[in-house]
Structure 1
Amino acid sequence: KVEEEMDIVMTAVRTIRAQKMSYGMTNKQKPEVYALSDSSMHRDVIMRQATDICALSAAGSIKSLASPAEVPKGCGVSVVNESLSMYMMLAGMVDPKAELAKLEKKEVDRKAALEKKMQAVNRAGYDTSVPDSVKEKDAAEIESITKELAQIAANIRDMRGAMI
């Protein structure tokens, strides 16, 4: 049980740190974080370990929410697992317009990279002339770029929400 609880704590910490990094926040910026879970066990663990999670993730505070309706406006979200999501208050932490412009530029760049890789994969003779190791590397790169684009799209949506 203790290992399971520590796994929840460390996953939450990694999620918060990754979310801060994706929005360009420094460790000096300590946003409010909201934990939304349909599991009472997850909520209990998060709230019991809130001080440790805040210290390890450089968050200002953590509050537990029971329903999505309680999530304040201006938050970005990261899914920890199927029953736990972490919402981070972005309003006042980042300049939404500047961050939105950076994200949109990054989205254009990554879409171009994906298109270039897809053209290479779809060219005539690719299946027969390219070694399997290169095909696997290309497939992994396409998957990575696709996941990155999904995260960028979510961040853009969050930034637009923070501008309201």
Structure 2
Amino acid sequence: MSKLGDDYIPPTKIVPDVMPFGCNWILSALNKAISKTVLSLESFESSDAATAVYSWWQFQLCDVFIEIIKPYFASNNPDFASAKRYAQAKGYAQDTLWVCLDNGLQLLHPFMPFVAEELWQRLPSRTDSMRKESIVICEYPSPVECWTNDNVLLKMDMIESVVKSLTSLRSTLEPKERHERLAAYVRCRLNDACNIIKSHELEITTLAALSSLEVLSVSDDAPVGCQVDVVNEALSVFLKLQGNINVEAERQKLKKKMEEIEK
């Protein structure tokens, strides 16, 4: 909630089409979580409903969205060259975060009523409507048609796959090197995949804690001094190392991964 600030005023309307990619994605993910939760509750599958809410909060809102909007709050970020662009991106991130917290706490309320109520009461209120006195008497969330964007969800699946592979490579490093920002490369075998990765370098760099990211085509030479992982048939990732690597061990690991994909 600290990202909202003391003077923040919630939006009267959300227009996902004009918002950054990450905002579009989390709203689409929220819509899916709402649909799954409502359907499970109507079917008296409380365990499935609780899992849907927990998964959205933990793995999508906290693990991904909160991370990818951090650059929007860094005024010295080169990705936002002008003050106007920075302010706009920050505003969209705040609006989306507020919508997520408002709906997310209402989703959570049947499972954690006291915690959800306490946090919801601390959320800023819209100026154009009367705020309910309690989350208990709020209408339970329902899907919002304009929030759903299947194309954005598919793109994020690819981004998360790349981040997962880079994170997996990082986990094998020595402790000293594991927590440093390293350079990485993504080799693309398909133009569509290449365009997606190039368009979302900021999200990948942020989520994978990289110092830089370079996109390679199949005609480019493989970078030296890197650990390698095959993401899928269209993508491979390379993580630049500062020390020496066991070339033969990396070759065998890559060969095994390729065999698994080709099965």
What TM-score range do you get, normalising by the shorter chain?
Answer: 0.5 to 0.7
SS at match of 1:60: strand
Larger Rg: 2
1:10-89 correspondence runs (5 A): 10-24=160-174, 25-27=177-179, 29-67=180-218, 69-89=220-240
Contact 2:227 2:250 in 1 (8 A): no
Shift in Å, 1:34: 0.9
CA-to-aligned-CA distance 1:49-79 (integer Å, 9 cap, x gap): 1111111111111111112542222122101
SS at match of 2:206: helix
Given the two structures, how large is their TM-score scaled by the length of structure 1?
A: 0.54
Change in CA separation of 1:153 and 1:71 when aligned onto 2, cut-off 3 Å:
closer
Given the two structures, how large is their TM-score scaled by the length of structure 2?
A: 0.35
Change in CA separation of 1:4 and 1:78 when aligned onto 2, cut-off 3 Å:
same
Task: State, as a whole percentage, how many aligned pairs show the same letter.
Answer: 24
Contact 1:9 1:53 in 2 (8 A): yes
CA-to-aligned-CA distance 1:61-100 (integer Å, 9 cap, x gap): 111111254222212210101110001112xx23x2xx65
SS at match of 1:70: coil
Whose helix proportion is higher, 1 or 2? 1
SS at match of 2:178: coil
Contact 1:47 1:62 in 2 (8 A): no
Q: Cα RMSD between the aligned structures?
A: 2.5
Unaligned runs of 5+ in 1: 105-149, 156-164
Unaligned runs of 5+ in 2: 1-150, 255-263
Q: Which has the higher contact order (CA 8 A, sep 6+)?
A: 1
